[in-house]
């Protein structure tokens, strides 16, 4: 059995240090060995799988993402495939977004809602064919949710987890690498477009998406036996462009206003309570969906809390916060911070916090209680922190 120390615990100076043991109770993706061979030094657990979480210092990886091109093993984004004659009607029922405007070959960021309006998952949706949808799941059991709904939906759908494992190629040189790898055909993929392709017989689904706010592509390998081969082809093609494997960057995703399911969003969260996700609940949608009544009731009554951006004073948070920091007022807890991280480009600490609606206005002063026993001043800030129009990934 292989053991490996958690990078996050190491940089905490041994505070709560632990050892992660690999075993058959969690799944390894098709790029697992290639990632270790390429220098992966730490893993997280995500969707019951091992997620490469560290290759080098997070700030070093951040700058490489911003200036060069990076490769990520995100095979933990497990796919839920919904197909069959009623695939559109069923998938459309899962989300408050109007999928009638999502043509084959296009994608959407969506929220999947429960009967109380809570967020079950916030996947990227790809419509590969008229009657075939992919949901690239965040960290929750979306496959089981969809299968459970299908049992009682009385619709002709087939729901499965296909052989599909994602790699992300992200950064300003990502387009150069992907064009050299797959040819000019990828130039036809606009932002949130997708298509099925092959690389010397390796079956792929390629989408112009990513978890960074940078120019990026996701390559979904559709034959797990060829994981090492695809990884090596990408690394060889990207070498002239200085490609490097890195872990998902919290600093960059927070800058971009991207949320992490399980910490920022949960089943107890509705999209109307999250800054930027209100648009997911489309009032003009003329078809029913799970949670509609609850969300319409909440919209009429108004939300009582909000997830907002925060700027945090003090020394750079390196490493980032590993606990939910309480937000206090007059000695009592009124909310909590879900993520706090240093942005090297902005040269300040940023994050998200859940606050009562009356304290959620921009520039509101806050007091945070850190996991280190001290206090930090903060203020509510607008999100995204950078590029709210998403001009960078659309370029």
- pLDDT of 161-220, one tens digit each? 999 999 999 999 999 999 999 999 999 999 999 999 999 999 999 999 999 999 999 999
CA distance 198 to 203: 5
Per residue in 210-260, pLDDT (tens digit) is 999 999 999 999 999 999 999 999 999 999 999 999 999 999 999 999 999
Q: Is the pLDDT of residue 4 over 50?
A: no
pLDDT of residue 318: 87
Fold of 79-160: Alpha-Beta Plaits (3.30.70)
Angle between helices 174-182 and 227-238 (to 10 degrees): 120
Smallest CA-to-CA distance from 218 within 109, 35, 75, 38 is with 75
Asked if 319 contacts 360 with a C-beta cutoff of 8 angstroms, the reply is no
What pLDDT, on the 0 to 100 scale, is given for residue 252?
98
pLDDT at 218: 98
Is residue 118 within 8 A of residue 265, CB to CB? The reply is: no
pLDDT (tens digit per residue) in 314-365? 999 988 999 999 999 999 999 999 999 999 999 999 999 999 999 999 999 9
Tell me the per-residue pLDDT of 130-150, one tens digit each, with 9 for 90 and over: 999 999 999 999 999 999 999
Assign 56 a pLDDT band (cuts: 50, 70, 90).
Answer: very high
10-24, 98-112, 202-216, 246-260: which has the minimum mean pLDDT?
10-24
Mean pLDDT for all residues in the chain: 94
For residue 7, is pLDDT > 50? Answer: no
Q: What is the pLDDT of residue 16?
A: 56
* Pairing relationship of beta strands 69-73 and 243-245 according to DSSP bridges: parallel
Contact by Cβ (8 Å): 277, 299:
no
**Cα-based distances in Å from 297 to 13, 121, 151, 358, 360:** 48, 21, 27, 20, 21
**Domain ranges, ordered by start, for the chain:** 3-77+163-253, 79-160
Predicted confidence at residue 10, as pLDDT, reads: 39
- Residue 17 confidence class, pLDDT cut points 50, 70, 90: low
Q: Cα angle vertex 270, ends 74, 122, to 5°? A: 20
pLDDT at residue 354 in the model: 98
| In the chain, % of residues over pLDDT 70 | 96
Q: Is 80 exceeded by the pLDDT of residue 384?
A: yes
pLDDT category of residue 3 using cuts at 50, 70 and 90:
very low
Instruction: Tell me if residue 244 falls in helix, strand or coil.
Output: strand
Choose which CATH entry (1.10.150.20, 3.90.1140.10, 3.30.1360.120, 3.50.30.10) describes domain 3-77+163-253.
Answer: 3.30.1360.120
């Amino acid at each position: 059995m292989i053991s490996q120390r958690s990078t996050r615990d190491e940089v905490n100076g041994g505070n709560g240090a632990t050892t992660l043991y690999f075993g058959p109770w969690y799944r390894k993706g098709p790029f697992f060995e290639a990632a270790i061979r390429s220098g992966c030094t730490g893993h997280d657990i995500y969707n019951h799988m091992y997620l490469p979480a560290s290759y080098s210092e997070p700030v070093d990886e951040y700058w490489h993402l911003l200036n060069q091109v990076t490769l990520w093993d995100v095979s933990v984004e497990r796919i839920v495939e919904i197909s069959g004659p009623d695939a559109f009607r069923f998938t459309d029922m899962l989300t408050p977004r109007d999928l009638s405007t999502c043509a084959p070959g296009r994608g959407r960021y969506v929220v999947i809602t429960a009967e109380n309006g809570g967020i079950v998952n916030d996947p990227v949706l790809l419509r590969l064919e008229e009657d075939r949808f992919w949901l690239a799941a965040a960290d929750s059991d979306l496959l089981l949710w969809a299968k459970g709904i299908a049992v009682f939906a009385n619709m002709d759908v087939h729901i499965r987890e296909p052989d599909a494992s994602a790699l992300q190629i992200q950064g300003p040189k990502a387009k150069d690498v992907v064009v050299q790898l797959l040819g000019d055909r990828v130039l036809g993929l606009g932002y949130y477009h997708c298509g099925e392709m092959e690389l010397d017989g390796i079956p792929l689904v390629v989408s112009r998406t990513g978890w960074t706010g940078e120019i990026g592509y996701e390559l979904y390998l559709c034959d797990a036996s060829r994981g090492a081969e695809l990884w090596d082809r990408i690394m060889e093609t990207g070498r002239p462009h200085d490609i490097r494997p890195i872990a998902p960057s919290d600093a960059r995703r927070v800058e971009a206003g991207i949320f992490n399911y399980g910490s920022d969003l949960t089943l107890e969260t509705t999209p109307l309570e999250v800054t930027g996700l209100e648009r997911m609940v489309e009032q003009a949608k003329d078809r029913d969906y799970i949670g509609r009544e609850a969300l319409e009731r909440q919209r009429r009554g108004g939300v009582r809390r909000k997830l907002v951006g925060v700027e945090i004073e003090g020394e750079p948070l390196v490493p980032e916060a590993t606990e939910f920091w309480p937000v206090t007022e007059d000695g009592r807890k009124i909310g909590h911070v879900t993520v706090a991280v240093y942005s090297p480009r902005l040269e300040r600490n940023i994050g998200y916090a859940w606050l009562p609606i009356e304290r959620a206005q921009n520039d509101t002063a806050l007091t945070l209680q850190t996991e280190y026993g001290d206090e930090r001043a903060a203020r509510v800030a607008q999100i995204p922190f950078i590029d709210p129009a998403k001009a960078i990934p659309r370029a």
